Amino acid sequence: MKLIRSIYVIATAGVALGFASCSASGDHPGYEYAPQMYNSVAYEPLTQIVNEDEGKWVSTREDEKGEFFNSNINNPHRMNMREPVANTVPRTKDGLLPYRLKAFELEKAAELENPVELTDEVLEDGRLLFLQYCKACHGINGEGDGLAGEVIGGVANLKGGAYVDLPEGHIFHVIMKGKGRMGAHGTQIPQERIWKIVHYVKQEIQKQ
């Protein structure tokens, strides 16, 4: 028993010492377990490691620098990402400006023009999108008689009365931000597609 206990004590002390030697002290920065979890090998736009020797002990790089050295020497302050030019405005994936009008700014939205050129192809895309996103409530012909619409009640008949004269920007805004009992679709449908739906509503639904 005594022997086993001493082996146990020695082994525990050994493991403890082993761990202790990994820790940082003085000029020694310590060792890291699985360093790839802390330092990205991929080029990171917003972090940079300027020490050329960082991760040298695991390095497989052809330039013989440390595996984790990750700075762009051609940029100011060796940053990986350059600051965008002043007054740069981001674009959405479909190349349009981000939509910044708030839900209550319906009147401003009404002045917007449809940036998507009207073609047969666009109308066909619009038709399919309408079936996908609007039919459930507004019905296949936009008359407010979709199956879900019957449950919700009060769905607008897009062919009826004043709705026929709605400006394109108004319809775009309602789809984007929602109105009354209709929910916003802006997080689900990219802008360009919404404008295609607007074309379809104007050209096909409301002219039938």
Nearer to ligand HEC, 55 or 144 (CB): 144
Nearer to ligand HEC, 49 or 109 (CB): 109
C-alpha distances out from residue 109 to 112, 169, 170, Å: 5, 5, 6
Binding status of residue 176 toward ligand HEC by CB under 6 A: no
For ligand HEC, the binding residue among 70, 156, 172, 193 (CB under 6 A) is 156
Binding status of residue 109 toward ligand HEC by CB under 6 A: no
User: Measured between alpha carbons, how far is 65 from 79 in angstroms, rounded to an integer?
Assistant: 17
Contact 175, 198 (CB under 8 A): yes
**Residues 6+ away with beta carbon under 8 Å from 80:** 43, 44, 45, 46, 47, 48, 70, 71, 72
| Choices 23-31, 38-46, 47-55, 174-182; region in contact with ligand HEC by CB under 6 A | 174-182
For ligand HEC, the binding residue among 168, 174, 193, 202 (CB under 6 A) is 174
Binding status of residue 180 toward ligand HEC by CB under 6 A: yes
Binding status of residue 137 toward ligand HEC by CB under 6 A: yes
169: tokens are 């920007």
Nearer to ligand HEC, 41 or 106 (CB): 106
Q: Which residue in the shown chain puts its C-beta closest to ligand HEC?
A: 180
Q: At 161, phi and psi to the nearest 5? A: 40, -120
| Choices 26-34, 64-72, 87-95, 131-139; region in contact with ligand HEC by CB under 6 A | 131-139
Binding status of residue 197 toward ligand HEC by CB under 6 A: yes
Binding status of residue 152 toward ligand HEC by CB under 6 A: yes
C-alpha distances out from residue 71 to 55, 109, 132, 134, 190, Å: 14, 44, 47, 49, 35
Nearer to ligand HEC, 122 or 174 (CB): 174
**Residues 6+ away with beta carbon under 8 Å from 81:** 45, 46, 75
User: Measured between alpha carbons, how far is 39 from 161 in angstroms, rounded to an integer?
Assistant: 63
Chain residues that interact with ligand HEC, rule: CB under 6 A? 133-134, 136-138, 148, 152, 154-156, 158, 163, 166, 171, 174-175, 179-183, 185, 197, 201
